[in-house]
A and B are shown apart, each in its own frame.
Chain A
Amino acid sequence: MLRYLLSRLLTFVPTFFGVTLISFAFIRVLPGDPIIVMAGERGLSEERYQELVRQYGFDKSVFQQYVDYLGGVLQGDLGASFVTKKPVWDEFFSLFPATLELSICAMIFAVALGIPAGVIAAVNRGKLPDRLFMSSALVGYSMPIFWWALLLIILFSGMLGWTPVSGRMSLMYFFEPVTGFMLIDSLLSGQEGAFRSAVSHLILPTIVLGTIPLAVIARQTRSAMLEVLGEDYIRTARAKGLSPARVNGVHALRNALIPVVTVIGLMVGTLLAGAILTETIFSWPGIGKWMVDSIFRRDYPVVQGGLLLIASMVMIVNLTVDVLYGLINPKIRRR
């Protein structure tokens, strides 16, 4: 197991360098000069411009700039934002809990609904529940996120007035972040109504972000279940006189989960991509919105550092999923 972990960590190395290179190149091929953007509508004098160019090292060759950047990264220095002057590292970790909270909620939403839906569809293959769930999944999967979000906002925020439209917390409440997770912090604060407010802010973004994973998980669960249900050991389970709930929910699902967990792991990347859009729509103060804003501001260090950290997160999550995969699949565990 340890050797496996080490060998997997080793494969991170080329990925890591690849991401630094791509993020470095990506922001530079975008048209627009960060110094001009920073100066805004006021503009700035030629001397001041040259001074800033030297200060940020833009007078050096691109190669040299990359080497400098990489040197910093390897020492754990991701640079500071051009705009706020705060270290990228600090900004990332002050905003990351918001994204994490939203992503976890979306994933729980997707798993909690997707797996039962997939099981029910597979057990009733070809019948009404199957058709209903699978056509909904297809719609959910192919619907544009922003359109879906607007639809929900119009219905639940506009017409029914049940949920707020943006942010993480009503302005009525204020408390210092402890964990960074609004659901936990609001409870810790002890302020009445704060938790309710946190929940109501989370509902729509969770649904919007969780819809595609929900559709993918439901479909994957269904097809994995269908495959497993034809296996000889399911026949054995039925031959013991076990109830259908136990046969499907224990004997079949346990095996079907193996491919489903892989898909869930692979979806973490998709989820972060979706988070960028969702956070922008709901003004959710997380890293998705932070990245979009910094791209518009041509905030080089933030874009580079943010992408690198996001990529690292995805790699770590994928590794965790692989380990988990070994835990639920006995055939791998003992080897």
Chain B
Amino acid sequence: MSLLEVRNLTVEFATSAGQFRAVEGVDVTLDKGEVLAIVGESGSGKSVSMLAVMGLLPWTATITADRMAFEGRDLREITPAERRKIIGKDIAMIFQEPMSSLNPCFTVGFQIKEALRQHLGLDRKARHNRAIELFEQVGIPAPEKRLNVFPHQMSGGMNQRVMIAMAIACNPKVLIADEPTTALDVTIQAQILDLLLELREKNGMALALITHDMGVVAETAERVAVHYAGQKVEEQPVAGLFGRPYHPYTAALLAALPERATSRILPTIPGVVPGQFDRPAGCLFAPRCAHASAICQTRPPLPRGADEGHARCHTPLLPDGKTVAAPIEEVSQ
């Protein structure tokens, strides 16, 4: 049984211009102690899909899924009070926006101790000590003094570290880290990632890491999910993904990495991510895909098998980067 299992997750927002589908048919599976990286262009629904799991989307969002289970219990079938016992304790999240994610009216000490009191029932002294310990772990200098400081009195990087400390405060079983190191410089970045991996070793914590940094993916992740325009277009173990991408989007994403560039000009993916009003009828990537055929324009592809990276593609890539024509029976349907 997987720790976290999400099947066919779809999220729609009610906007003034009608329903906007930010996430479409996404599956997430996370086992104990596993590190899953989620990559994809900005706006591809990485944050929204994880916020849906946390139950933190605003009221304008409509969430549908076939299954959304933590430790075998569907999160939508338990009472809100039961769900609150899981959220923040067993499943925690580090948010993307460190500066605005802390309450400006309370000291950071208050905010981290609040999480400890809510779930662990520690007494005052124990909470205080644990808070200091957590601040030390995330590399906040002079932790005891920092506890009495308000968020606006610290830099973005410090706020980010406080957020991380808060998220790991109750030793979560699943940690969703949404670009946890964006506001940090490289040395601290490495230190934080080491800390998260250490927690995985020690507590068997599973980590869902949303990131833009392919270097981080290569170093830390075991599996990688690639998102495009709200869909998961490919998922593979990390070595396989870097070695043999099946989806043309994944291949294009990898080709755009500076260290993989063969000429001095970085190859970019032509075109833009489809928006609310220009969603293609077929494959969402077809308008930008070098290999798109007639069927790609008209029929949305379904995810393929695990042996082909679950790629949502009619014409997955061959090892040489070319594609086979779409199978006949699919075309004739």
Q: Which residues of A contact B (CB under 8 A)?
A: 230-233, 235-243, 251, 254-255, 328-331, 334
Chain B residues near A230 (CB, 8 Å)?
Answer: 58
Contacting pair A254 B56 (CB below 8 A)? no
Contacting pair A237 B103 (CB below 8 A)? yes
Given contacts A232-B95, A232-B97, A330-B150, contact A240 B103 (CB under 8 A): no
Tell whether B100 is near chain A: CB-to-CB under 8 Å: yes
Interface size (B, Cβ < 8 Å)?
33
The 10 closest A-B pairs by CB, nearest first: A241-B88, A240-B88, A232-B100, A241-B84, A233-B103, A254-B105, A232-B101, A330-B150, A240-B115, A241-B87
Tell whether B118 is near chain A: CB-to-CB under 8 Å: yes
Contacting pair A239 B93 (CB below 8 A)? yes
Tell whether B310 is near chain A: CB-to-CB under 8 Å: no
Chain A residues near B97 (CB, 8 Å)?
Answer: 232
- Write the chain B residue with the least CB distance to A258: B105
Contacting pair A236 B153 (CB below 8 A)? no
Tell whether B54 is near chain A: CB-to-CB under 8 Å: yes
Contacting pair B103 A331 (CB below 8 A)? no
Residues B93-117 near A (CB distance < 8 A): 93, 95, 97, 100-106, 111, 114-115
Given contacts A240-B166, A330-B150, contact A233 B88 (CB under 8 A): no
Chain A residues near B92 (CB, 8 Å)?
Answer: 239
At the interface, is chain A mostly helix, strand, loop or mixed?
helix
Chain B residues near A243 (CB, 8 Å)?
Answer: 81, 84
Given contacts A239-B54, A240-B166, A334-B153, contact A231 B100 (CB under 8 A): yes
CA distance A239 to B176 in the complex (A): 11
Contacting pair A330 B152 (CB below 8 A)? yes
Chain B residues near A242 (CB, 8 Å)?
Answer: 84, 88, 114, 118
CA distance A331 to B92 in the complex (A): 28
Q: For chains A and B in complex, what number of residue pairs have CB atoms within 8 angstroms?
A: 72
CA distance A162 to B107 in the complex (A): 49
Contacting pair A238 B103 (CB below 8 A)? no
Chain B residues near A232 (CB, 8 Å)?
Answer: 95, 97, 100-101
Tell whether B322 is near chain A: CB-to-CB under 8 Å: no
A240 interface neighbour in B51, B104, B118, B153, Cβ under 8 Å:
B118
Contacting pair A236 B101 (CB below 8 A)? yes
Given contacts A232-B97, A330-B152, contact A240 B114 (CB under 8 A): yes
Contacting pair B114 A235 (CB below 8 A)? no
- Write the chain A residue with the least CB distance to B153: A334
Contacting pair A233 B101 (CB below 8 A)? yes
Tell whether B304 is near chain A: CB-to-CB under 8 Å: no
Chain B residues near A231 (CB, 8 Å)?
Answer: 100
Min CB distance, B283 to chain A, in Å?
33
Q: A237-B103, A242-B84 are in contact. List 14 more A-B contacts (CB 8 A).
A: A235-B101, A236-B95, A239-B95, A240-B88, A241-B85, A241-B89, A242-B114, A243-B84, A254-B103, A254-B106, A328-B105, A329-B105, A331-B150, A331-B152
CA distance A134 to B285 in the complex (A): 48
Contacting pair B103 A255 (CB below 8 A)? yes
Chain B residues near A236 (CB, 8 Å)?
Answer: 95, 101-103, 111, 163, 166
CA distance A334 to B152 in the complex (A): 10
Contacting pair B118 A241 (CB below 8 A)? yes
Tell whether B86 is near chain A: CB-to-CB under 8 Å: yes
- Write the chain B residue with the least CB distance to A125: B59
Min CB distance, B56 to chain A, in Å?
5
Chain A residues near B101 (CB, 8 Å)?
Answer: 232-233, 235-236
Given contacts A240-B88, A242-B84, A242-B114, contact A235 B153 (CB under 8 A): no
Min CB distance, A256 to chain B, in Å?
10
- Write the chain B residue with the least CB distance to A329: B105
- Write the chain A residue with the least CB distance to B99: A232
Tell whether B119 is near chain A: CB-to-CB under 8 Å: yes
Min CB distance, B118 to chain A, in Å?
6
Interface 1/0s, chain B 301-323, versus A by CB < 8 A? 00000000000000000000000
B105 interface neighbour in A235, A239, A241, A330, Cβ under 8 Å:
A330
7 contacts between A and B (CB under 8 A): A236-B163, A241-B89, A243-B81, A243-B84, A251-B103, A328-B105, A330-B152
